[in-house]
Amino acid sequence: MLQGLTGIHLVIILGIVLLLFGATKLPALAKGLGQSINVFKKEMGTDDGKKTGAASTDGTANAAPVQQPTAQYPSSNGVQEPVVNPGPSTQPNSDSRSL
């Protein structure tokens, strides 16, 4: 698609952009484009290793990792071990209202 694009083509495109937007608007346009790209990368989770202050202070980084259940395979001695399926843990409700 862009195999035939040479240096002269890029100069012509740059000239057209300068005529359309003007030299004074280009820095603001580039800044807005850069901010949009950074927001997009942040939302995609590939912010090139950069962490924002808000992400590190919300407490999710210090949360304990969730342990995933492992697959149970039959043992080699012929005795089948029971499979334990851990259900969701429930904590007692601290709100003690009597109905």
Residue-wise pLDDT for 22-42, tens only, equals 888 888 888 999 999 999 999
Mean pLDDT of 46-55: 53
Q: Are 41 and 48 in contact (CB under 8 A)?
A: yes
At 57, which amino acid appears? T
- Of residues 56 and 46, more confidently modeled: 46
Nearest to 38 by CA among 55, 50, 26: 50
pLDDT of residue 98: 56
pLDDT classification of 45: cutoffs 50, 70, 90: confident
Confidence bin at 87 (pLDDT 50/70/90): low
